Structure 1
């Protein structure tokens, strides 16, 4: 058996037998070395142009990002044209906060100060003007043996029944009763303002008080006014009370009514119904507002159960209400009330030669708050020949009563009550 050797792997043509005898290949052709180019001339960085960005290769067959909607041309031809796009209003910018200029507060203060200065000057000018219109008389003339000055400030308020300046129509409206001879007084009030503060005291001096009248003997208190005017009245009051009078104020019928009307009326709580044809007064009991004519009748009427004693109570009640209304903010802050009030008071009030408008203001201000009202201690009534029915003082209690005011003290409570 013949063994065959394994087949040898095929050889490449170069490895075929007899290839060794072939000519050796020629050596490779040497190429000359490349010519070296000179390096490019470099420009300074500031002059070198920026490198050009190569555009990206164009991409063909790139799909679109958003598909186009299908449009039906037939419907689009018949459809109305689309509305123009609605423009939104531009946003409103918030206003910047107003910056305060430097010195604005100072200018405001200067303006307020200037306004206050103008008002102050106007007020002073008004006071000086109306003070010059006051009717002055020599009521507080010195006399031999006059009582020296006592502590505190004492005002004598007198309501005169003078008809001077009234027309016949005004006399009928105010029910004055026409001319009745010499001037008399229906209201005599002594007001004590303590020097150290405290309550003001208002004392009614009955007009029919039987007291010594200098130069005329014993007579009624209001007779001194008819016999010697304000001077004799002041002298009689000082001698009967032992109190030095510092200021004198007198007001007549017309001035009384005008002052009440100037403040817009006075609120009074009438304790009982009053029907007095002589005073032209008809009032129901209860709180009500009285005008000038009604107020005048209210302080003059004696058509009440206690006659003169009720009248004195009504006078004190009215004076407190009037002065409280005159000094209230609704009056002195209202020029339409303050001007007629001051004008009416200046034109119808008589004062002493040494008194001024600010003295009246001090009196009104002192009575705006708590005020103690009282009547001279009464001892009884008596008919005196040639004089008529008079009112007698309780001399022992009256001395203690006025002694407290003379010492600038409050009147004891037991002296304020009627005598048992």
Structure 2
């Protein structure tokens, strides 16, 4: 890994993948086909891109039963406990409608309403992501969303991996459709004969899914356009270099564009971690991916002291931040920008990915400066409540008309004047 002495501002920002012109055109064509031909287009596109000719998109009861026969008891128990942890964490985020009253009879408030429907996209193909299902479905359920639709590409056998089917069933998802890619996003946004349209699409996917989500935004809401994964480790001389190297590689194996960075005031630790990364890379199954990530987007920043290291972390505003210092709890107040903060040597990033409870859908590419993890609020909308009494309008009407006329909106002012005149 590159060891760099910090001498200027640093940044994690990389060019956000906008797709090639060919990819953009392909996504546009797919969306238009689904809008025009519905299920027929979905069938043809699924056969073209996934190599499967399905009789029906809907997951069957038999597929779910077979999945329970295939999954190991240990995995099922872990899924159930993770669901419990994640639900408990998100339940604490839920907001309630509120109303306040004033002496003049005015009532003001905010009505919190869950979205009617949400579509959850789960990546598929050769991989299985039960954790992605939990992190996207559970906050929607806690928010009170009544209709949750899950889509994911079918495997070559026409079904989903057992872990995906079991997790969705354990969560009580009723609508599950074996369709993926840009065509699934289009179906969720515009609807087909089988899939009724929804209000918001969440969940990660490949470049075609990302471009499709961007294209349908406005027709529906979306969560975010996530970039490659990131981890920053803030460490002092007390930190374990073996732990640090392992955690850096845990993100590097995601993607050749994933970013893995150590920030430390200790040069000796920096060299030990650089050496340990090379050692651990040798036995990693996804060695080529991780090595490319470390080579192109990995770095070790050496600072003059811990205060400067914290400043570097805040400049980076990473998706995941691990604080491996002697007293990590004392630094929480100084960390301003990070999607998720992992404190201490045993809070390794995968703890948050799978089991602890907080959401693992996090802002990337430095957007933690102004963005938050996926949460219950993302599945609700808020309406303002205004009730003005006669006395309140009499007391404040002239101020309102003054402001309306200041903006040149006479009809606004007259709407108030008519009521004031009525009381004379």
* Fold in common (TM above 0.5): no
Higher Cα Rg, which structure = 1
Bigger RCO of structures 1 and 2 (CA < 8 A, at least 6 apart): 2
TM-score normalised by length of structure 2: 0.23
TM-score normalised by length of structure 1: 0.23
Pick the structure with more helix per residue: 2
